[in-house]
Chains A and B, each alone.
Chain A
Amino acid sequence: MKKTNMDDYCSLMSDVDLPDDVRHSVLGEAARLRNERRDPLTSASAVARRRPLLRGLAISTCALALAIAFAIGGVLPSPSSFVDSDKAGNSFTLAAYAAGEPGKEGQGVSLKRDFGTLAGFGWSDNNDIESAYLQEDHPSSSPEDTKGFASTHLFLDLTCVGKNVETLTYAIEGDGAYFYQENWNYGPPPNTTGPAPKPQVQKSFTISYDEQTKDKIATQRQLYLFFPLDEKALEAYNAKGGPSSRNLPATSTNEDWFKRLEAETFRQFAEEIVERPITLTATFKDGSTQTKTYLISPTNDFEQQMENYRSSPEENLRDLASYFTLTEIVKE
């Protein structure tokens, strides 16, 4: 049997050093940031970082290809906003919307697979989950109200593309809907004392347009939706076959119960999320603002997709592109 020699690994690895171009790139970007803070109007993005530049180019290329496709096709109804810059040249749109293909029957755009994934569900007998995230002292339901509550968590790519955009503010409307954020770098370094900051949920947040890539690296953002289970979902929640503690993960013994509960919760989530528009407000470098609203809605064949999920062990709910479309509503 061939053995792996870890001494070889150590010897080879110790010969590898930090490449000079990476070192120069870091120092160059540091210089750019310093200049930007001294003179934010003239030096912004003057020296692009290697990786963000590649990423920016990829987004621009994708969007440009779409703009060209629209120009050539000339008949595609949407996504219109990607090319609707005003007289000052200001424009912005959600990259996922720009990259999506127009859906059937005016149903917004179909989503690319990388737009979003289902991060998970949570259930409880009362809505303490939401209270806990809001760090409220008192749960908003009393024990006698006890029934089932769910929380659904989504990873969404909320990257925007645009021109002259300074900052972007994301807000979500409706009860029980929040943006969750967790700093990937939050953990206290080893050997230090003190608790790590608690995860936060909030109705809105603002980020700098130029810092979007950085934000994705440093911050985990999810969309959280808390809601009381409706009759069908509650029936699944209370059905026999579940674990003694309902918040336990699925095991071979309660897999069927778990799958049914997930399906009913996801079905209800699809009904709820369409009532929670996401509003994006771009503030441009000239001080003007523009607001756009996006709706995540179930696809026309959502029921069929759910049937596929229920009947096939291989199907999963993770890929939101199979189940949802994105629609843009422009507000002046």
Chain B
Amino acid sequence: MNLKLRSDDYLEHAMDTWGALVYRLALNQTHSKSDADDVTQDVFLNLLKDSTEFRNDEHLKAWLIHVTINCCRALRRSVWSSRVETADSSSSTFSNLQAPTQKLFTSDVWEAVQRLPQTMRLVVHLHYFEGYSIEEIARTTQSKSSTVKTRLHRARKKLKLDLEQEAEREKDKHGRLLLTDE
């Protein structure tokens, strides 16, 4: 088995363009700095060996998100994810974090988002942070739009977001109200 590897230039381009995206998504899914490091490494090593001919950077981005979700899912299944990592601000693990990550880990909003089930966290991250629409998230996660919509709605309720404000936000963006009670 001697598959062709992608060039370092391509790998660097991919990391420059989408490295932060992969890392942030991995952080959201694993809520652990070291697991996010590992997932990110695995994602780009998958890219190194993968032979997909990407049409453009957006195609590459979609592939990277898809693979990141799968790597996080695989990590959860493995015995290695059973260890617990704390983000206690007095721990040495915490002091090794970059300042923005420390700030994120100690914020109220991070704590609230991390309390959500993993599937809701994913939808929240892709929608709010990456700006994906419900249809785009459904395609990326290979789920039904109605499932994504329900998860997002439940996540909003759990996060105690202002639902009226959220509904307005959706209306403004798409010209119609996407979120409805089940």
Binding site for B on A (CB under 8 A): 1-6, 8-10, 12-19, 21-23, 25-27, 29-31, 33-34, 37, 49-51, 54-55, 58, 114, 155, 157, 184-185, 187, 189-192, 208, 214, 216-218, 220
Contact = CB atoms under 8 A, between A and B. Distances in A.
Contacts of A29: 41, 45
Contacts of B73: 184
A26 B15 contact: yes
B46 A218 contact: yes
Nearest to A8: B109
Interface string B32-46: 000001101110111
Q: Which 9 A-B pairs have the closest CB atoms?
A: A18-B19, A15-B100, A51-B38, A184-B70, A190-B139, A4-B159, A114-B79, A189-B63, A12-B104
Contact of B41 (A3, A5, A37, A49): A49
11 contacts: A12-B103, A16-B101, A16-B104, A17-B19, A17-B23, A19-B23, A33-B5, A50-B41, A114-B79, A185-B50, A208-B1
Interface in B67-89: 67, 70-71, 73-75, 77-80, 82
A14 B129 CA distance: 8
A98 B113 CA distance: 40
Contacts of B40: 18, 22, 26
Given A12-B110, A16-B98, A191-B59, A217 B71 contact: yes
Contacts of B170: none
Interface of B: 1-2, 5, 8, 11-12, 15, 19-20, 22-24, 27-28, 37-38, 40-42, 44-46, 48-50, 52, 59, 62-63, 66-67, 70-71, 73-75, 77-80, 82, 98, 100-101, 103-104, 107-110, 112-113, 124-125, 128-129, 136, 139-140, 142, 159-162
Contact of B108 (A4, A22, A54, A155): A4
Given A37-B2, A51-B42, A190-B136, A18 B160 contact: no
A22 B160 CA distance: 35
Contacts of A157: 79
Contact of B129 (A5, A13, A18, A155): A13
Contact of A30 (B5, B70, B142, B160): B5
Contact of B109 (A6, A58, A114): A6
A96 B33 CA distance: 28
A307 to B, nearest CB: 29
Given A12-B109, A22-B40, 8 more contacts: A1-B160, A10-B128, A17-B19, A18-B40, A25-B37, A25-B41, A26-B44, A185-B50
A34 B103 CA distance: 38
Contacts of B128: 6, 9-10
Contacts of A34: 5
B20 A9 contact: no
Contacts of A22: 19, 23, 37, 40-41
A22 B14 CA distance: 13
Nearest to B142: A187
A216 B74 contact: yes
B15 A15 contact: no
Given A4-B159, A6-B109, A185 B129 contact: no
Contacts of B161: 3-4, 6
B130 to A, nearest CB: 10
A50 B161 CA distance: 39
B109 A27 contact: no
A185 B41 contact: no
B41 to A, nearest CB: 5
B112 to A, nearest CB: 5
Give the most central of A26, A54, A157: most B CB within 10 Å. A26
A164 B100 CA distance: 44
Nearest to A2: B160
Contact of A217 (B1, B74, B100, B139): B74
B16 to A, nearest CB: 9
Contacts of A33: 5, 45, 48-49
A34 to B, nearest CB: 6
Contacts of A192: 59
A190 B62 contact: yes
A9 B45 contact: no
B112 A37 contact: no
Give the most central of A8, A12, A14, A16: most B CB within 10 Å. A16
Given A26-B41, A29-B45, A185-B66, A18 B20 contact: yes
